[in-house]
Chains A and B, each alone.
Chain A
Amino acid sequence: MIDAAKIKKDFPLLNQKMNGQPLVYLDSAATSQKPQAVIDAIKDFYERHNANIHRGIYRLSEEATELYEGAREKVQKFIRAKETKEIIFTRGTTESINLVAYSWGRQNIEKGDEIIVTEMEHHSNLIPWQLLAKEKEAVLKFIPIDDEGRLKITKLDSLLNKKTRLLAITHVSNVLGVVNPLKEIITKAHSNGTRVLVDGAQAVPHLSVDVSELDCDFYAFSGHKMLGPTGIGVLHGKRELLEAMPPFMGGGEMIKEVTKEGATWNELPTKFEAGTMPIAQVVSLGTAIDYLNGIGMENIWQHEQMLIAYALEKVTAIPGVKIYGPLKPKDKGGVLSFNIGEIHPHDIASIFDEEGIAIRAGHHCAQVLHRRLGIPATVRASFYLYTDQSDIDKLIGAIKKAKQLLL
């Protein structure tokens, strides 16, 4: 079991006051806080190892390269990818998905082809496909959700046909917290000859992910939601697919040989890492992975299960609060989206802020989902390994205060 109070001490930002109150940070689905070890790793890189990677012959550059490539190996092991060549560093989940849309998508999607997404996608896993579909005159289809926010998997069979080239789906919903049954979905898609891209932004930080076992074709996630710095993300892709894909961005490092007439591309993964990468961020993402491994992903998942069960029990007991997503903690991550009567989510967020509680109000970059739920916005509290029961008790107190003031 996790001792969240002890873990909190590793996160300097969490030990401060906000509006005169101890900070209660419940917006980890937007971005996680950083442990001292990660902050130190960034500082340490610039104080002792900073040099550009790969090309330098001198010792310092070799060291920086070793640290950079060492972090790639940590990522590979963390998500159980087959080899480091399959790990591409990007700016974040959004860039990872766009890379696939531009590179693989433009090469493989033709007029009349079909792409399947779901009604619960974050805009980062919807807009790139909308753009691609428009450009190629392809068709975008949606797997619907039921009223509890679960995918209607049975509808998948009728959506898949011989024109379906790609299925792009989130692993865990950033609004509903639902964990999608990927294994079943991927098996179905593959037996139809359809490739699968998974948006893992809300999954990798919270549960043990095994891309080899999932057998997905592409898997995208961000560093900053898993204790790492901003500006760094990962695209995992199957080697044979990545090898067949044209580059996404052109520039230094991604080439093998350049003449006036053209160029040949570097080997994986460098083919997709044009220009100087955010080296310190990659290295400190490695440190974040070390930290998570030290706690254990299974322990983190269990801890969040305990928190969401506790929060669901307490919040459902308050009359007038409507919760979106499954009401049973099983198969649900540490994300709680709700509304209080007719109170506008922005007003709720302001009242919570006065109590030092950071939550998110709005459509959470999922307007299609909110339209399906029939509401413009929700309030979202999201948990992580440093969240404890007292944070949730404060959340309950603030919900009651908002009701008293505004209902």
Chain B
Amino acid sequence: MNTSDIYREEIIDHSKHPRNFGKIAKPDVRYKEKNPLCGDEIELFVKLDSHKKVKAVAFNGAGCVISRASASLFTEAIKGKSVRELEQLSAKDALECLGLSELTPTRQKCALLVLETLKRGLKKYQQKTK
């Protein structure tokens, strides 16, 4: 009864002690996105270096274990990536980053909230810097 396929130790650790949790002053990318289904909310901050690569990243907001763990692992993974690389990230990449292949479509939305937030933030950033 007390084992779980989804809620393994690494996921729970990242949810309880999320990496990159907080805010960044003067970010290049800043975006807030909501999952209307469950009210999960993520605000994402990205600071770029002179080569347009991720220098620092942070997120905050309230959400379920899956959305928090996903945001924690995802933000760890995108450090050092270029804007071009970020734009090419797919849902598959984000789910691989989380390491959960058994999520149902509804729960995948929780996991992909951080990716969605990044994509929309990047779009806003591109429009701004055009």
Residues of A within 8 A of B (CB): 343-347, 350-351, 353-355, 361-363, 376-377, 397, 401, 404-406
List 6 additional A-B contacts (Cβ < 8 Å) besides A350-B7, A350-B66: A344-B63, A344-B64, A347-B65, A350-B107, A397-B1, A406-B65
Q: Assess the B38–A405 pair: CB atoms within 8 A.
A: no
Residues of A within 8 A of B65 (CB): 343-344, 347, 406
- Known contacts A376-B39, A377-B38, A377-B39; decide if A355 and B63 are in contact (CB<8 Å): no
Quick one: closest B residue to A397, CB to CB?
Answer: B1
Q: Which of B22-45 contact A (CB under 8 A)?
A: 37-40
Residues of B within 8 A of A345 (CB): 38, 64
Q: How far is the CA of A191 from the CA of B37 in the complex (A)?
A: 41
Residues of A within 8 A of B66 (CB): 346-347, 350
- Known contacts A344-B63, A405-B12, A406-B65; decide if A351 and B4 are in contact (CB<8 Å): yes
Question: Can you show 8 pairs from A to B with CB atoms below 8 A apart?
Answer: A346-B38, A354-B5, A354-B6, A376-B62, A404-B2, A405-B2, A405-B4, A405-B7
Q: How far is the CA of A355 from the CA of B62 in the complex (A)?
A: 26
User: Which of the residues B2, B64, B104 comes within 8 Å of A347, measured between beta carbons?
Assistant: B64
Q: Assess the B1–A406 pair: CB atoms within 8 A.
A: no
How close is B27's CB to chain A, nearest CB, in angstroms? 26
Residues of A within 8 A of B37 (CB): 362
Residues of A within 8 A of B78 (CB): none
Q: Assess the B12–A362 pair: CB atoms within 8 A.
A: no
Residue of A355, A376, A397 contacting most chain B CB atoms (<10 Å) = A376
How close is A364's CB to chain B, nearest CB, in angstroms? 12
Residues of B within 8 A of A354 (CB): 4-6
Q: How far is the CA of A186 from the CA of B12 in the complex (A)?
A: 51
Q: How far is the CA of A261 from the CA of B110 in the complex (A)?
A: 55
The 5 closest A-B pairs by CB, nearest first: A344-B64, A376-B39, A346-B64, A347-B65, A347-B64
Q: How far is the CA of A346 from the CA of B107 in the complex (A)?
A: 8
Quick one: closest A residue to B37, CB to CB?
Answer: A362
Residues of B within 8 A of A (CB): 1-2, 4-7, 12, 37-40, 62-66, 104, 107, 110
Residues of B within 8 A of A351 (CB): 4, 6-7
Q: How far is the CA of A404 from the CA of B5 in the complex (A)?
A: 15
Residues of B within 8 A of A397 (CB): 1
Residue of A345, A361, A405 contacting most chain B CB atoms (<10 Å) = A405
Residues of B within 8 A of A362 (CB): 37-38
Q: How far is the CA of A19 from the CA of B107 in the complex (A)?
A: 16
How close is A285's CB to chain B, nearest CB, in angstroms? 29
Q: Assess the B2–A344 pair: CB atoms within 8 A.
A: no
- Known contacts A346-B64, A346-B110; decide if A401 and B2 are in contact (CB<8 Å): yes
Q: How far is the CA of A310 from the CA of B22 in the complex (A)?
A: 44
How close is B26's CB to chain A, nearest CB, in angstroms? 30
Q: How far is the CA of A362 from the CA of B39 in the complex (A)?
A: 8
Q: How far is the CA of A350 from the CA of B108 in the complex (A)?
A: 12
Q: How far is the CA of A343 from the CA of B62 in the complex (A)?
A: 11
How close is B13's CB to chain A, nearest CB, in angstroms? 12
How close is B9's CB to chain A, nearest CB, in angstroms? 10
Q: Assess the B39–A347 pair: CB atoms within 8 A.
A: no
Q: Assess the B1–A347 pair: CB atoms within 8 A.
A: no
Q: Assess the B64–A401 pair: CB atoms within 8 A.
A: no
Q: How far is the CA of A346 from the CA of B39 in the complex (A)?
A: 10
Q: Assess the A344–B1 pair: CB atoms within 8 A.
A: no
Quick one: closest B residue to A363, CB to CB?
Answer: B39
Residues of B within 8 A of A361 (CB): 38
How close is B106's CB to chain A, nearest CB, in angstroms? 8
Residue of A344, A355, A363, A377 contacting most chain B CB atoms (<10 Å) = A344
- Known contacts A345-B38, A406-B12; decide if A350 and B2 are in contact (CB<8 Å): no
Residues of A within 8 A of B62 (CB): 376
Q: How far is the CA of A406 from the CA of B8 in the complex (A)?
A: 10
Residues of A within 8 A of B5 (CB): 354
Q: How far is the CA of A354 from the CA of B2 in the complex (A)?
A: 10
Residues of A within 8 A of B104 (CB): 350, 353
Q: How far is the CA of A351 from the CA of B64 in the complex (A)?
A: 12
How close is A373's CB to chain B, nearest CB, in angstroms? 13
Q: How far is the CA of A354 from the CA of B65 in the complex (A)?
A: 16
Q: How far is the CA of A405 from the CA of B13 in the complex (A)?
A: 11
